[in-house]
Amino acid sequence: MEKAIIGKKVGMTQIFDAEGKVIPVTVIEAGPCTVVQKKTEEKDGYTAVQLGYEEVAEKKLTKPELGHLKKAGVAPKKVLKEFKLDNAAEMNVGDEVKIDVFAEGDRVDVTGISKGKGYAGVIKRHGAHRLKESHGTGPVHRHAGSMGPATDPSRIFKGKIGAGHMGCDQVTVLNLDVIKVDSELGIIAVRGAIPGPKGGLVYLRNSVINVKEKGAAAGISNNPQKASARVNPQKASARNR
């Protein structure tokens, strides 16, 4: 079943598992989110719900935003985000979505806005090499260098690396493990790092990646190449199983 919630990045820490191994995790303060609007197949052509997160003063919202929320009978919300969920048809305006929709062992995709780095050159932005610092380059060691083509086509193609605004992009990290869920504190800990600064807004939803079982749980493949690899472990197909 598809699940989703809105939250804020708290920061990173580490958790020890039952075997004593260290797991780096990101703590996210998520929910509760309120259903502000419900999209239906008959009226809108698809089924979805709009979730509202974090109460805010009325003076910080525009009149259209306030009218939209008052029509739903919901307190002013700072963030509105629409999600297509499997159980959207069963949800009603005013319902709350809490962090307990997720459980330990789930896999989630986290979307956020990456940290802004300001105006950056090609070395920091694209990992380009420096120019030599001996003779002939002048005081341009970190510049992009010549990129102008000849008479044909007499222009620079789109997509060429160059200096420019770095960061502040929407980034989605896929397939992160949910390590811990605390319903009382309203926090969730996911394995690894997620985009954005501390306090940054993030969207969590169940992962779109279908994780296949490995090892004995996956069963034996009928592929004859893999069958021969089981006989000869030196084959590449045996190493890549």
Whether the Cβ atoms of residue 121 and residue 130 lie closer than 8 Å to each other: no
The confidence score (pLDDT) of residue 15 equals 92
The confidence score (pLDDT) of residue 228 equals 56
Per residue in 40-84, pLDDT (tens digit) is 889 889 889 999 999 999 999 999 999 999 998 999 999 999 999
- Compute the radius of gyration of the chain from its Cα atoms: 25
Residue 36, judged by CB atoms within 10 A of its CB (0-12, 13-18, 19+), counts as buried
- Please state, for a pLDDT cut of 90, what percent of the chain lies above it: 53
The confidence score (pLDDT) of residue 90 equals 85
Cis status, amide bond into 153, omega within 30 of 0: yes
Per residue in 152-211, pLDDT (tens digit) is 888 888 888 899 999 999 999 999 999 999 999 999 999 999 999 999 999 999 988 876
The confidence score (pLDDT) of residue 159 equals 85
Sign of the alpha-carbon torsion through 175, 22, 193, 29: positive
Q: Whole-model pTM? A: 0.77
- The DSSP code for 129 is P
Number of H helices and number of E strands within the chain? 5, 12
* Torsion angle (degrees, nearest 10) of CA 93, 99, 105, 111: 80
